[in-house]
Amino acid sequence: MRHYAAYGSNLDPARMRAYCPHSPMIGTGWLEGWRLTFGGEAALGWEGAVTTVVESPGDRVFVALYDVHPRDAANLDEVEGAVAGTYRKLTVQVATLDGAVTAWVYVLDGYEGGLPTAWYLSEIANAAEAAGAPADYLRDLRSRPTRTASPEP
């Protein structure tokens, strides 16, 4: 399988080009029945919780689809923490305007809980905007609570 569904900061095509220069964005879609959430704050020792997805009937997560070239796959696994065991790969179905696409996502190998930093949430929202996420999705994302105050505009 070569399709990767990005839901966090990798939604940003420019960021992905830096990590995976041979892997173009091929479209966007939705993980139906999934919810964007955060976890790992205490276990990982980072400033705040990190993004992940969990199954949640009735919810959905905006994703960018990338056709990952084998040359880039190992680098992406390293960058996303799959090699270290922080995240694991999970196969999902992405709903697109052209039908369902099978892709993988990286899912945090840990418990849900904790809040992201304002900076991290801003990075995710900016990446979603760069990928073409709808305005209501961006509004909901930007209104989530954070561990720290939001940066001044």
Q: Which residue reads 């990075």 in tokens?
A: 123
pLDDT at res. 80? 87
Helix residue ranges, H only, 52-134: 70-79, 118-131
Which range has the worst mean pLDDT, 18-27, 37-46, 73-82, 130-139?
A: 37-46
User: Does residue 91 carry a pLDDT above 90?
Assistant: yes
What does the domain layout of the chain look like in residue ranges? 3-142
Residue-wise pLDDT for 7-53, tens only, equals 999 999 999 999 999 999 999 999 999 999 999 866 555 677 889 99
User: Does residue 4 carry a pLDDT above 60?
Assistant: yes
Catalytic residues: 80
pLDDT at res. 7? 97
Cα–Cα distance between 27 and 87 in angstroms, integer? 23
Could you tell me which residues are annotated as the binding site? 4-9, 120
pLDDT at res. 46? 60
Q: What is the arithmetic mean of pLDDT over 91-119?
A: 92
Q: What are phi and psi of 59, to 5 degrees?
A: -100, 170
Q: Cβ contacts of residue 106 below 8 Å, gap of 6+?
A: 80, 81, 82, 87, 88, 89, 90
Q: Which tops the pLDDT comparison, 86 or 34?
A: 34
Q: Which CATH class name applies to 3-142?
A: alpha beta
Could you tell me which residues are annotated as the binding site for substrate? 4-9, 120
Which amino acid makes up residue 97?
Answer: L
